[in-house]
């Protein structure tokens, strides 16, 4: 990572600290919120807690590294995503209302695609700025990315959502679009983070700005895609639990 | 431990950090998952939580040592295993369906063998690379290792499993094979970690590569043998609880 100018430095520092607070408190929030939903949907809320807990740890490590001016280790983000992205897709299946006998297969497919997406992104992320490796791995990682979106909108999850109406159907539809929107930030931030990429050049970022944009971009996307997305999951799980007659005691 | 080259260094660093996150979050996950199984099987899930909690602490210590470039202390791994391996075999007995009057005796035998296996491995691990002590202790530690495998496949646990059919029988059988597979990584990583051993020489590892292989190998095996194995234990405990009419509220 390039040496950052002072104000950029301050921005990344504050963004990482903000994320530690947001993730850690969301971890606790989702843990205590488990009892608000019926046992059938509880694992979705448990997964939200785990996602935020894992992210809290990694943001703490990134923040510590950054404040010690150690070389920035992108490995933390990828280790985090390797653990959390399969959980993000798995919790969506739990609340999607997909038939139980299909759920396991869909979860497996989504989780494998998620792991491949992260594994393909990493060598590109740590490749030299402007190298062809950076662009090639970006393209390769987009294949499982698009496959996941396809399952959510046209494949098994898309089909299951067609049959849902009323408040729950609307919430599920929002959930899909929020996922698509927040996840789209990642490939864009990746390109902007490579100061020699066509996109960074088009926007006119120098290498210090580029480093700031990628770190702040990933951080905002993570806060929306983890604690934010978890709120929608919780809302759907509560609505389903109520509809099925669950009452917290 | 030898001074590691930069990319090897980064790999071990990221593997240790990844394990901290995986173990810590699994600790919380198994704690909150206790209510999913009936009281009869709850101690198995509690043990999974304890195993992951103990490992989270030791990985945290190893990670801190490693990032401070302190000499690597293999004692952390052996202290971890001394506490966790008896629990790993004990939780298998809880879900195995072995008759209650036999369970205590089998658990004691397995736990003693586990403690001996770890205790015999340690002097070999810290012996000089290529020394005969390294090889002799490896052989001595393999004796309780093979005894444990024998109990699981032919002895009391093997006999108890013959009587189990259906989904639970299948899950138990998978559990045994996963245990055999993940545990086999340890004696192999031990040999590859001694750069003067016949195996490291056959593979052609120099001493820096050898140090990396042993640390990454042990870490992957630990993640599979602790949180991964715990998922199978939880699955069996849930299936047994359901079969016996337990319902989470």
Tell me the per-residue pLDDT of A26-45, one tens digit each, with 9 for 90 and over.
Answer: 999 999 999 999 999 999 99
B-chain residues within 8 Å CB-CB of A46? 29, 32-33
pLDDT at A174 over 80: yes
- CB-based contact B25 A58, cutoff 8 Å: no
pLDDT confidence bin for A3, thresholds 50/70/90:
low
The total number of residues shown for chain A amounts to: 249
pLDDT of residue B4: 60
The pTM score is: 0.91
Cα–Cα distance between A17 and A58 in angstroms, integer?
A: 11
pLDDT at A210 over 80: yes
B-chain residues within 8 Å CB-CB of A42? 248
Nearest to B134 by CA among B41, B47, B214: B214
Q: Output the average pLDDT for chain B.
A: 92
- CB-based contact B20 A79, cutoff 8 Å: no
pLDDT of residue B89: 94
pLDDT tens digit at each of 249 positions of chain B: 445 667 888 899 999 999 999 999 999 999 999 999 999 999 999 999 999 999 999 999 999 999 888 888 889 999 999 999 999 999 999 999 898 899 999 999 999 999 999 999 999 999 988 889 999 999 999 999 999 999 999 999 999 888 888 889 999 999 999 999 999 999 998 998 888 888 888 888 888 888 888 899 999 999 999 999 999 999 999 999 999 999 988
Residue B249 domain flag:
no
pLDDT of residue B1: 43
pLDDT at A230 over 70: yes
Nearest to A235 by CA among A174, A181, A184: A174
What is the tally of structural domains in chain A?
1
pLDDT 10s digits, B52-66:
999 999 999 999 999
Q: Does B33 touch chain A (CB under 8 A)?
A: yes
Read off the tokens for B128: 């000089």
Q: Output the average pLDDT for chain A.
A: 92
Cα–Cα distance between A212 and A210 in angstroms, integer?
A: 5
ipTM of the complex, rounded to two decimals: 0.88
A-chain residues within 8 Å CB-CB of B20? 57
Residue B192 domain flag:
yes
Residue A112 domain flag:
yes
pLDDT confidence bin for A23, thresholds 50/70/90:
very high
Cα–Cα distance between A118 and A130 in angstroms, integer?
A: 20
**Any idea of the CA torsion for B83, B87, B89, B91, to the nearest 10 degrees?**
-170
Residue A248 domain flag:
no
Give me the CATH number covering residue B129.
1.20.1070.10
Q: Does B203 touch chain A (CB under 8 A)?
A: no
pLDDT of residue B129: 83
A-chain residues within 8 Å CB-CB of B21? 54, 57-58, 79-80, 83
Across the interface, of B13, B25, B247, the residue whose CB is closest to A54 is B25
pLDDT 10s digits, A87-97:
999 999 999 98
- CB-based contact A79 B17, cutoff 8 Å: yes
Structural domain that includes position A38: 6-243
Q: Best residue in B6, B12, B15, B18 to probe A by mutation, most A CBs within 10 Å? A: B18
Residue B136 domain flag:
yes
| Buried b / exposed e along A165-197 (16+ C-beta atoms within 10 A) | eeebeebbeebbebbeebbebbbebbbbbbbeb
- CB-based contact B248 A34, cutoff 8 Å: no
CA distances B47 to A205, B147, B153, B233, B234, Å, are 52, 22, 22, 10, 11
């Amino acid at each position: 990572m390039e040496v950052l100018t002072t104000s950029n430095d301050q921005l990344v520092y504050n963004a990482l600290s903000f994320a530690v607070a947001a993730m850690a408190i969301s971890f606790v929030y989702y843990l205590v919120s488990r009892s608000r939903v019926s046992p059938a949907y509880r694992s979705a809320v448990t997964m939200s807690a785990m996602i935020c807990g894992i992210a809290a740890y990694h943001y703490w490590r990134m923040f510590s590294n950054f404040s010690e001016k150690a070389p920035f280790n992108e490995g933390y983000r990828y280790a985090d995503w390797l653990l959390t992205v399969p959980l993000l897709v798995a919790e969506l299946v739990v609340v999607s209302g997909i038939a139980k006998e299909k759920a396991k297969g869909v979860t497996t497919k989504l989780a494998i695609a998620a792991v491949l997406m992260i594994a393909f992104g990493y060598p590109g992320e740590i490749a030299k700025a402007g190298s062809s490796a950076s662009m090639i791995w970006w393209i390769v990682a987009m294949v499982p990315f698009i496959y996941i979106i396809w399952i959510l909108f046209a494949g098994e999850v898309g089909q299951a959502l067609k049959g849902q109406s009323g408040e729950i159907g609307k919430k599920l539809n929002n959930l899909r679009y929020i996922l698509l929107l927040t996840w789209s930030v990642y490939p864009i931030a990746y390109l902007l983070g490579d100061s020699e990429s066509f996109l960074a050049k088009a926007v006119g970022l120098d290498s210090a700005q580029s480093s700031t944009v990628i770190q702040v971009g990933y951080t905002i996307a993570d806060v929306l895609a983890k604690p934010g997305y978890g709120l929608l999951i919780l809302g759907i799980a509560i609505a389903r639990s109520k509809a099925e007659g669950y009452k917290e005691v």
